[in-house]
């Protein structure tokens, strides 16, 4: 009995941090629906990113916006997509993958038409990025969502990827 109890206690300590590590359902709903899920949520749409004319070698499609003196956006370098948060690049593939479609992974570059939102609940703020998964074709109506925790403060950023179309099959992939 004691062995089972100890196993359950250890398992609980190991799993509880992961249960609390993702953004709340209200944050996810707000990001997906582009409106606050309830009265405890506030949202601010950030300016649309612009195309940066100067891009370093091996990179393309750099889209940036400035919010409160911080740079946000996306860039593709050597066929790898990145989210730009406070001028730092975070690989899209490093996002925790919560796609409902196992064929769709966080490796598709963000488009210029992506929408950027600051979502706030109590004292916590998140960056929400919603982008079509493709510019044209059958997947152009399907959106991918990234939620970045700690995007507006100095704490380490945690990135989460969401995709909700179970039927979509990617024709190509970055990797």
Q: What does the pLDDT look like over 149-173, one tens digit per residue? A: 999 999 999 999 999 988 765 555 4
Q: What are phi and psi of 26, to 5 degrees?
A: -65, -35
* Cβ contact 152:118 at 8 Å: yes
Q: What is the pLDDT of residue 56?
A: 87
pTM score, two decimals? 0.82
Helix residue spans in the chain (DSSP H): 2-19, 25-33
Q: Residue 105 to residues 99, 100, 172: CA-CA distances in angstroms?
A: 7, 10, 11
Q: What is the pLDDT of residue 13?
A: 40
Chain centre to alpha carbon of residue 50: 19
Q: Which residues in the chain show pLDDT less than 70?
A: 1-21, 135-141, 168-175
Q: What is the pLDDT of residue 142?
A: 83
Question: What residues does each domain of the chain span?
Answer: 24-163
Q: What is the pLDDT of residue 80?
A: 95
Q: What is the pLDDT of residue 139?
A: 55
* Cβ contact 67:122 at 8 Å: no
């Amino acid at each position: 009995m004691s062995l089972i109890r100890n196993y359950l206690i250890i398992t609980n300590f190991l799993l509880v941090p992961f249960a609390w590590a993702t953004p709340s359902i209200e944050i996810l709903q707000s990001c997906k629906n582009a409106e606050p899920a309830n009265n405890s949520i506030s949202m601010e749409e950030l300016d649309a990113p612009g195309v940066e004319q100067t891009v370093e070698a091996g990179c393309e499609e750099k889209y940036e916006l400035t919010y409160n003196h911080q740079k946000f956006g996306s860039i593709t370098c050597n066929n790898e997509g990145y989210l730009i948060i406070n001028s730092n690049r975070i690989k899209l593939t490093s996002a925790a993958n919560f796609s409902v479609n196992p064929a769709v992974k966080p490796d598709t570059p963000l488009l210029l038409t992506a929408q950027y939102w600051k979502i706030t609940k109590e004292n916590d703020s998140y960056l929400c990025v919603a982008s079509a998964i493709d510019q044209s074709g059958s997947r152009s109506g399907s959106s991918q969502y990234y939620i970045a925790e700690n995007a507006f403060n100095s704490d380490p950023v945690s990135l989460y990827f969401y995709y909700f179309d179970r039927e979509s099959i990617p024709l190509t992939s970055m990797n």
